[in-house]
Structure 1
């Protein structure tokens, strides 16, 4: 390219400048807003409502307890907290001390929790009640954020003013060798990313927080809302699993903004179609992120809602987001252009800019580029490199994502250079899972492939003990996050190979799809007047896409089930048994026998009404779906 072409490309990837104040730490801004409006509600979870002033005082007491336990600026503090207002106070209290918070998902197995916190070398852990024993093996100080004495009594520590280069948080992602890999984000980067968010989404939102703290999109909702003077609505421990409960939250709190992975938003729209789109009428902005946005989802969104739809893209290493596409009507899907303060480059293997229409690797520069990987200088040097286009000491992050500039000035996302995948929005490196499989007794070789929808993994192993595969999966579930545990494991005598002698992943992916063909629906069991166990088994076979007999005492999640499949299971049970248990009950009763008990209880209450209601509900949903398809088709022909 000539000089003019280079300048045009650099301008295309340059985000708007950040306004003055980009370096203000998030927690000091939250404290200032608390002083200005102490009586305004800041956080809500269930019936617990906390004002700005109360949250500031509560966080100050958490901070004072941490300092009394020996925490100092520059330390790292683990946060193992359930979905609650106390979770917010725990994070805010930690950063007030000058320490970085290290969030861990309570849903992870104990071994994973311990491994992450040990690797981070935390000096203390903030928990919510009931989690104290889970961190006892670490031998560090523990502060229980929701204890009455912490919330209502004791000294209040004023916020420490950190330097821009001080660490604000440390979030762990999957590592290529099986070990977790921590990304260090500094206060300057967090402040810039959060200010960019307020610039793109002005005003004081009422934001529904769905992500767990250990999922990096929580950073967007948590700090983007609190620093804007908005209200954070935290989905409770049962609510976040149930789309119908989420609809009630949106309606009850007049939620204006939410962020979630596209697959979850699709189930939320399906629930709104059943119960009425008016439940989502308060929404002004819906943000999808974490996985590819299907072309059909914007059409479904705009067929029901008038809210703006935004598709965000960004790795943890770029402080949550780097690009966005705003939709006000259905149209072609891409990941848009740069967020404020960001520079995007599409480069070839020699590090040269490539013109529009040509595929290259996306590199991200600008104010949001993280410090690097904790205690891993080699990985940091490979991924965080000098930015020759900005000059000086500027750096850019090599994403490993393949993209190209399109004619509309946005980026088309084309996939990965390596074997990293997204499973239900969580970044998983298949090499990490394969390493964990190869470490299991009897496993000589392993390959892991994702399904086409990005909802689950299938593992193929060469093993001396194929009968031990259930125990192998159980071992993985104790050490890996849920999204990284293969839904199915299959034993093969050998792997198909490419012409270069390497395992043929494409062939294995095809084999996984063939092995997982769903059982035909015509084989449905009798309704509520028949055998409930047979009906539940038929529903499981449909949702888990298997024709094998389903044992009565095996956990749904041990057979490859996950949170999104539970929602599909709820619908399938309605068809096969005439009873539609709540999502919360299905999580609590997660075997065939236990769910058959739910069916008996529901049928016994009013068997005739249950069957009639289920059939009427199904007919209503089919009418809504037909009407939605007609609206989409009419819109496409205009």
Structure 2
């Protein structure tokens, strides 16, 4: 069973395309078992109190103890003045107290706002506190001194009194679970308001649940400020799994788990032969190379996913089969995807357009920025009512068997010599060359520049691969071999770092 689209929104399409546009664009209807994500975690604590909930560098905590500490913290926050609907900062690093902090904030009826204090500069933290009207910041005693002065009321999670007897104050649950700050296109971070309904929809239904069950070990590799960290952390605990938080050695952690959730850049740093225990992999956040999907899908179920923060982690998922076409799949349950032209009219099946997302994945907008919210979240003419759809800025098209192909982003379409070029298409061609495992393409001073990895990959062969697959104007002027592609603190290819390498770079490379 799927949602019905309004006929009036489909009138510009031929009859056959109308049926396929709806059939392909609507995910199945499923009812999540909980309305608030921490209630799912609480059920696991009640059913499996002695199971290990979290591991980190030799330390561990059971579900019963995690729930007890989170309840203590929630009561402490309530008595300190935190009210339902508030935003509470969670400024620390990966640790067991981090997980206690998340659940304690949710149990207090507030939304958590995560940041890694080792990475986020003081000006960034101040902007977040100001934008989110944060009065309380949770950290640990270890990181208290790293926070800017006069930031907010700072509470060290590991210093909260361990009172075994207390009367828990009743608190109402909030609609908003987290505020995730993205880099945005405005030059300053934008706070995306993610609701409990958003999280329950993607994390408590398949395929987003990833088959996690009591005893399943799931890695926590990503920056805690990244929306995919919610998939790792809350997606694991909501199903009774064991969250294995990494230290400095990512591969060592990944080799001990059953499920890995990562960006393709982070996954590319891991050796599948070392991580033989891994049986399920999910990637999102950036384009996935086919070779990477093939390497991991030989021994693990491989999910290629897509979706910006504003549509709650991911809103399309493909279970990839080795050697088959790599797409971003189909909409997750209770969500929709519309491929539209520049005038917001439905594209025919097979035509490339911009992807808009609707349904239960659509978040509550940008905190404190109604103008940007109004520009990116528009009334949904397909579902109607008061529903909104979000402009993803991703380009895509439907295949004739109902798979969604990703064709880059609207801001990745560049003009070269008067011709429009899709950077992702050039990158795919570069990666088709022998010995090129990863690549990316940038526009620099009006010319295309390709970066290929590893450094042993031959630029001349990569150039020939592009020449064979794409028009002449798509061939990079410069192709630079590098050991590895640098990544941002969120595990994506760092294009700024690559552009900085071009200073003084000679075109004799290729």
Q: TM-score, normalised by structure 1?
A: 0.62
Aligned residue runs from structure 1 range 48-447, under 5 A: 48-106=59-117, 107-147=119-159, 149-150=160-161, 155=166, 157=168, 160-162=171-173, 166-197=175-206, 201-204=210-213, 205-236=216-247, 238-240=248-250, 243=251, 245-247=252-254, 250-251=255-256, 255-269=257-271, 272=272, 277=273, 279-302=274-297, 305-418=298-411
Count of aligned pairs: 433
Query: Which structure dedicates a bigger proportion of its chain to strand?
Result: 2
Query: Using the alignment, how far apart are the partners of 2:357 and 2:487 within structure 1?
Result: 36
SS in 2 for 1:193: helix
Aligned residue runs from structure 1 range 22-37, under 5 A: 23-37=34-48
Cα pair 1:58 1:150 within 8 Å, conserved: no
With over 3 angstroms needed to count, the CA separation of the structure-2 counterparts of 1:335 and 1:510, relative to structure 1, is same
With over 3 angstroms needed to count, the CA separation of the structure-2 counterparts of 1:349 and 1:151, relative to structure 1, is farther
After TM superposition, give the deviation of residue 341 of structure 1 in Å: 1.2
Give the structure 2 partner of residue 585 of structure 1.
none
With over 3 angstroms needed to count, the CA separation of the structure-2 counterparts of 1:173 and 1:280, relative to structure 1, is same
With over 3 angstroms needed to count, the CA separation of the structure-2 counterparts of 1:113 and 1:38, relative to structure 1, is same
After TM superposition, give the deviation of residue 510 of structure 1 in Å: 3.4
Query: Using the alignment, how far apart are the partners of 2:276 and 2:443 within structure 1?
Result: 43
After TM superposition, give the deviation of residue 36 of structure 1 in Å: 2.1
After TM superposition, give the deviation of residue 178 of structure 1 in Å: 1.8
With over 3 angstroms needed to count, the CA separation of the structure-2 counterparts of 1:129 and 1:13, relative to structure 1, is same
Cα pair 2:93 2:224 within 8 Å, conserved: no
Query: Using the alignment, how far apart are the partners of 2:81 and 2:270 within structure 1?
Result: 45
Query: Using the alignment, how far apart are the partners of 1:356 and 1:30 within structure 2?
Result: 41
With over 3 angstroms needed to count, the CA separation of the structure-2 counterparts of 1:420 and 1:63, relative to structure 1, is farther
After TM superposition, give the deviation of residue 111 of structure 1 in Å: 2.1
With over 3 angstroms needed to count, the CA separation of the structure-2 counterparts of 1:400 and 1:377, relative to structure 1, is same
Structure 2: give runs of 5+ residues left out of the alignment: 1-12, 415-422, 429-441, 459-479, 492-510
With over 3 angstroms needed to count, the CA separation of the structure-2 counterparts of 1:40 and 1:285, relative to structure 1, is same
After TM superposition, give the deviation of residue 158 of structure 1 in Å: 6.8
Cα pair 1:144 1:150 within 8 Å, conserved: no
Query: Using the alignment, how far apart are the partners of 1:120 and 1:453 within structure 2?
Result: 38
Query: Using the alignment, how far apart are the partners of 1:57 and 1:136 within structure 2?
Result: 30
With over 3 angstroms needed to count, the CA separation of the structure-2 counterparts of 1:105 and 1:411, relative to structure 1, is same
Query: Using the alignment, how far apart are the partners of 1:410 and 1:519 within structure 2?
Result: 35
With over 3 angstroms needed to count, the CA separation of the structure-2 counterparts of 1:159 and 1:348, relative to structure 1, is farther
Cα pair 1:28 1:159 within 8 Å, conserved: no
Cα pair 1:60 1:158 within 8 Å, conserved: no
Cα pair 1:198 1:224 within 8 Å, conserved: no
Query: Using the alignment, how far apart are the partners of 1:453 and 1:145 within structure 2?
Result: 45
After TM superposition, give the deviation of residue 94 of structure 1 in Å: 0.7
After TM superposition, give the deviation of residue 220 of structure 1 in Å: 0.9
Q: Which has the higher contact order (CA 8 A, sep 6+)?
A: 2
CA deviation profile, 1:393-448 (whole Å, cap 9, x unmatched): 11111111111111332111111113699xxxxxxxxxxxxxxxxxxxxxxxxxxx
After TM superposition, give the deviation of residue 386 of structure 1 in Å: 0.9
Query: Using the alignment, how far apart are the partners of 1:112 and 1:420 within structure 2?
Result: 30
SS in 1 for 2:116: coil
With over 3 angstroms needed to count, the CA separation of the structure-2 counterparts of 1:28 and 1:239, relative to structure 1, is same
After TM superposition, give the deviation of residue 376 of structure 1 in Å: 0.6
Give the structure 1 partner of residue 508 of structure 2.
none
Correspondence for 1:508 among 445, 457, 477: 445
After TM superposition, give the deviation of residue 206 of structure 1 in Å: 1.6
Cα pair 2:303 2:319 within 8 Å, conserved: yes
With over 3 angstroms needed to count, the CA separation of the structure-2 counterparts of 1:88 and 1:386, relative to structure 1, is same
After TM superposition, give the deviation of residue 87 of structure 1 in Å: 0.7
After TM superposition, give the deviation of residue 157 of structure 1 in Å: 4.2
Give the structure 1 partner of residue 470 of structure 2.
none
SS in 2 for 1:95: helix
Correspondence for 1:10 among 7, 22, 25: 22
